[in-house]
Amino acid sequence: MRLDEVIRGIAITDRRGIFDAEISGLSADSRRVGPGQLFVAVRGVSQDGHDHIPEALRRGALGVMGEAWPESADEIARANVVLVPNARRALALAAANFYGQPSRKLLVAGVTGTNGKTTVTYVLESIIRAASKKVGVIGTVDCRYGNKTLPLAHTTPDAVTLQATLGEMVDAGVSHVAMEVSSHALDQERVAGLHFKVAGFTNFSQDHLDYHGDLDTYFEAKARLFSEFLRKSRARGRMAVVNVDDPKGAEIVERWGGKTLKVSLDPKSDADLVALEAHYGLDGIKATVRTSKGVWEITSPLIGPHNLNNILVAMGMALAMGFSKQRILRGLEQLERVPGRLDRVPDAQGRAVFVDYAHTPDALSKAISALRPLVKGRLIVVFGCGGDRDQHKRDPMGRAVAAGADAAVVTNDNPRNEDPKAIAQAVEKGLLAGGFTKGQAIAAKTFVVELDRRHAIRLAIEAAGPDDAVLIAGKGHENYQIVGKEKHRFEDRDEARRILAGEPPPPPMVFEDATGEVTADQVEDALEILAEAPASALPVTQSVDPSSIVDEVDMEPDIVAEEADEDDLVMIVEESESSEGGGTGDPPAPQKT
């Protein structure tokens, strides 16, 4: 594609060079730029892509797009240069052009909110499949379409990967796309150039303050999906679907200002989709829903009022995309499960053990509230908080557990580079403030600290009686535990299944203590179990390749931040670890041929 075609529709402040030159691809990472590509210089928190323009040119970049001329004009004397006011936005728009504006050939539904995005996309996917349409899904768990399932580093990929993926979906015959849209993606302009048919809003509560700084800034990022990106979409019949039970719902409706489907669990609400009556059980939901097309009886295997709210948002989005009552009801019935979302672990004896991704105070509270009335006995919660992330939610998460659970086990949940003991102590404050006491065994209104997550899960399950339930919160679908700079293979659901089946435990995960030393007790415990454990039970430890890490803060290789839902392979990567210099850290994306 010619350079002038790639930059079509982008605001330009200055330009120089030959603009009918053929561009072979796009990159915002000087280390990965290839011959004939356009390098886009993006400013980050600790690195500036403009500093790496010479490197990109040495690697064969045919053109450069950025916000300012490099200090040394000699370095780009023969380069094609485009100056723009906002390089992030320009990158997204250029990617959309380069890959042929794929979102205009698709019906794209995007959903945002602190919690519930993944569930909404799974429900919507099931409805679209029930209508015999080819669907693509982009979100926290993975990217999937047709027979392909691809891992993602983030809930919403970087702009180049996103547009490339949408282009591949078009080529594969996909007609509809359900995607999660994170606050990071909205703030970083990753979805600029996407033409949404419908945008959904689930809820809003505290999360990602380590990135956004405060709740107001966090909400402003979420609201941009409606006030900016949906408004600018060229899709016909654009519509918003908003949960008006959330206090921020009305503000979203006002910011959007266009046609809206409102959803509510309040039978007295004048919303467009209203749950008039609902019955909740450990086997799912049965509800009567008032719609503009009459009163519908729905069933779903999902659990709890918060999931009924998610279902209503998905139903509204399906209606906005033109699906019939028959297809919607069939899709709701055919959905089997959403990985890691109040996901019951199979057990021959019928014991109630659930895995959930809840890692915010609000999500944890809702998961507990959903199970609490359905459990005859005790509700035991296993949970922790991530290291190098929003520290302000640790105390509230402890309080949320104390408010609804009968007992708790505090454990590791991706401690990363923080001292696990320090994280646990912050959580303990919330539990103590909520009326729990610290103990050595699971008992009423008592919490135990067991930093080995595998052992923590075993403690909870073995302590549970026939009428009790165990909620293992925080990781959900994730299959790793990040400690320091290493990613260890670990999956809550698999650990729980192993314990319920009575299989022998693998050796404990041996981690460094706060001083960076492995303790003698840890080594001794590990050796004892290693001697007895079968080889198949040994855990897999994988060192993370720093070059594969994509930054959620500013797409740089030296600072990485997780999305809520997020979802990520995360670690702090020092600049010195890369022998190839700087760059802005975009992952490689398929190039158009």
Q: Are residues 376 and 295 in the same domain?
A: no
pTM of the full structure: 0.83
Alpha carbon distance 529, 533 (integer Å): 6
Range of the domain at 90: 3-97
Domain's final residue, options 97, 127, 144: 97
Q: Are residues 292 and 369 in the same domain?
A: no
Domain's final residue, options 309, 334, 359: 334
Alpha carbon distance 23, 241 (integer Å): 39
Q: Are residues 370 and 401 in the same domain?
A: yes
Q: Are residues 79 and 130 in the same domain?
A: no
Identify the CATH number of the domain in which residue 397 sits. 3.90.190.20
Cα torsion 397, 398, 403, 408 to 10°: value is 120
Rounded percentage of the chain residues whose pLDDT exceeds 90: 78
Check: CB of residue 114 under 8 Å from CB of residue 205: yes
Q: Are residues 281 and 397 in the same domain?
A: no
H-helix or E-strand spanning residue 159: helix 159-171
Provide the domain count of the chain. 3
Identify the CATH number of the domain in which residue 60 sits. 3.40.1390.10
Residue 593 lies in a domain: no
Domain's final residue, options 300, 334, 368: 334
Q: Are residues 205 and 321 in the same domain?
A: yes
Alpha carbon distance 419, 15 (integer Å): 50
Residue 583 lies in a domain: no
H-helix or E-strand spanning residue 367: helix 361-371
Q: Are residues 70 and 178 in the same domain?
A: no
Chain position carrying tokens 């505090």: 410
Q: What is the DSSP letter of 226?
A: I
Ranges of H-type helices in 286-338: 305-320, 325-334
Asked whether residue 112 carries a pLDDT value surpassing 70, the answer given is yes
Cβ-defined contacts of 516-519 (< 8 Å, 24+): none
Q: Are residues 16 and 159 in the same domain?
A: no
Q: What is the DSSP letter of 225?
A: I
Please list the residues that pair with 295 across neighbouring strands.
290
Please list the residues that pair with 480 across neighbouring strands.
489
Q: Are residues 31 and 164 in the same domain?
A: no
135-174 pLDDT, tens digit each: 999 999 999 999 999 988 888 899 999 999 999 999 999 9
Asked whether residue 339 carries a pLDDT value surpassing 80, the answer given is yes
Asked whether residue 19 carries a pLDDT value surpassing 90, the answer given is no
270-315 pLDDT, tens digit each: 999 999 999 999 999 999 999 999 999 999 999 999 999 999 999 9
- Report the pLDDT value the prediction gives residue 73, as an integer from 0 to 100: 61
Please list the residues that pair with 242 across neighbouring strands.
201, 262
Asked whether residue 128 carries a pLDDT value surpassing 80, the answer given is yes
Q: Are residues 209 and 76 in the same domain?
A: no
Q: Are residues 44 and 81 in the same domain?
A: yes
Chain position carrying tokens 């760059």: 583
Residue 486 lies in a domain: no
